[in-house]
Amino acid sequence: QIIDGKATAAEIKKEIAEEVEHIVAGGGKRPHLAAVLIGHDGGSETYVHNKVLACEACGFQSTLIRYEDDVTEEELLACVDRLNNDTDVDGFIIQLPLPAHINKQRIIERIDYRKDVDGFHPVNVGRLAIGLPCYISATPLGILTLMRRYGIKTSGKKCVILGRSNIVGKPMSQLMMQKHYGDTTVTVCHSHSANLEEECRQADILIAAIGKPEFVKADMVKEGAVVIDVGTTRVPDPTRKSGFRLCGDVRFDEVASKCSYITPVPGGVGPMTICMLMLNTLAAGKKAYYD
């Protein structure tokens, strides 16, 4: 069965919008998300545009703050400080990647963890690791939500995650390991893993977030496995108007027939990532995790 992330995300955004209207009708505050965009990277422009549209769909207030590529680190830190202190802004994100001259970690650590709806601040990462309420990184949360919405049983299963990034691989492994979330036995593989293909073949749930187009082939997938494809690499395609197409980490045509469930690219995990950012913003507006 193909997991339709686009339809699931639309459903969740509708639920969020209804809750927001209920909050506002009761005299509560409309959630407010701010996004900071540096430069004119095509991918980042698209992501931020989609986040603004998602805010509209959810009934949120949104603010976009733009800087050119030559913004200094001090200017960006000052912007973070302003957003931290702005009581009207419930949550905000600094769109990555940042220009090379800016220390990404310094920026992330300056964000007030109570407004860190991306879930990248060390406090949120640490709270996730020990199972405390927090903002969970949007892509892993989106994957878990998709599996729950499709009624996919995870408890007791073997889950293999390809990739160990701070944004997907590591938080995904935490979520899938913890009893009240995935409750699976987790193996994290990466570019230096020995017997990588053999590890993949043992997976009941295979989550590919390695950033290598069509890396996962049919002979790496167990019959009846659940395959979640996080990859979104732009590959040249002269038949497309844009000149490129989005390609996942899984050879979909080859692998799909072996799976019980699989996410397509595009239309699988991608729409859920932005949707989960909206869910985190709603939680921020409600002060669900932090006063």
**Alpha helices, H only, 120-251:** 122-129, 138-149, 169-177, 196-201
Fold equal for 27-112 and 138-269:
yes
CA distance 106 to 229: 30
DSSP calls for 243-282: SEEEE-SB-HHHHGGG-SEE--SSSSHHHHHHHHHHHHHH
User: What percent of the chain stands above pLDDT 70?
Assistant: 100
* Strand-pair partners of 201: none
**Amino acid letter for position 274:** I
Question: What pLDDT digit, counting tens, does each position of 35-45 carry?
Answer: 999 998 888 88
- Report pLDDT for 43: 81
- When pLDDT is averaged across residues 153-158 and rounded to a whole number, the result is 98
**pLDDT range class, residue 245, cuts 50, 70, 90:** confident
**In the CATH hierarchy, which top-level class contains the domain 138-269?**
alpha beta
Domain ranges of the chain: 27-112, 138-269
- Please report the pLDDT score of residue 240 as a whole number: 87
Q: Look over the chain and give the mean of its residue pLDDT values, rounded to a whole number.
A: 96
Residue with the bigger pLDDT between 291 and 36: it is 36
Q: What is the pLDDT of residue 242?
A: 84
pLDDT above 90 (res 243): no
pLDDT digits (tens, 9 = 90+) for 25-68: 999 999 999 999 999 888 888 889 999 999 999 999 999 999 99
Of 138, 119, 142, the residue nearest 129 (C-alpha): 119
Per CATH, the homologous superfamily of domain 27-112 is: Leucine Dehydrogenase, chain A, domain 1 (3.40.50.10860)
- The DSSP call for residue 216 is B
CA 31 – CA 90 distance, rounded (Å): 6
pTM of the complete model beyond 0.85 = yes
Which active-site residues does the annotation give? 51, 95, 118
